[in-house]
Amino acid sequence: MTLQFEQFLTANAQFATAFNQGGLPMPPARHVAIVTCMDARLHPEKVLGLAIGDAHVIRNAGGRAADALRSLVISQRLLGTTEIVVLHHTDCGMLTFTNDQLAARVHADLGVDVAGQDFLPFADLAQSVRDDVALLRVSPLIPKDIPISGAIYDVDTGQVHEVVRT
């Protein structure tokens, strides 16, 4: 069986032959950090018109701000980002389970007790965006003058719909 990694190495060899952006600076050119989901249907660079080097894209399950806070602090304090965008999406897997359900699944599959672990699922998509923006807005680690926006990407239409802007 061929691992996907083998295919990735082949694809990368082709990519590297035409790669000409090795001189880009470390700080993102557009000074923005985007917190979004790891869902494979979401390609934030294409969705938002970003090029290599334009933005920090921080991805995790659900695009949750609590998981991204460490990266946001580094992005802002060390690499100069001055804006945050929280981008969740329709048909998100985080809408399909509760903490208790996932804890039971992990215990059944792996024999590990993760009861009490918050996997940050949510039941309301727009509210999850508002909650994540609010979490960042009140965090002492995010300056009060940093613009923070929240939106939802529709996986069926490709459109982004604004939810909140602070």
Q: Set out the domains of the chain in order of their start, with CATH numbers.
A: 28-95+121-165 (3.40.1050.10)
Asked if 33 and 76 touch (Cβ cutoff 8 Å), the reply is yes
Average pLDDT over residues 84-110: 98
Segment 16-35, tens digit of pLDDT? 999 999 999 999 999 999 99
Segment 70-91, tens digit of pLDDT? 999 999 999 999 999 999 999 9
Asked if 103 and 114 touch (Cβ cutoff 8 Å), the reply is yes
**Amino acid at site 36:** T
Buried b (16+ CB within 10 A) or exposed e, 88-127: bbbebebeeeeeeeebeebeeeeeeeeeeeebbbbeebee
pLDDT at residue 134 in the model:
98
Q: Which of 1-5, 104-108, 138-142 has the lowest mean pLDDT?
A: 1-5
Asked if 61 and 93 touch (Cβ cutoff 8 Å), the reply is yes
The encoded tokens of residue 98 equal 């509760």
Question: Rounded to an integer, what is the distance from CA 72 to the centroid of its chain?
Answer: 11
Percent of the chain's residues with pLDDT above 90: 99
pLDDT at residue 2 in the model:
74
Task: Return all residues near 39 (Cβ < 8 A) that are at least 6 apart.
Answer: 89, 92, 93, 155
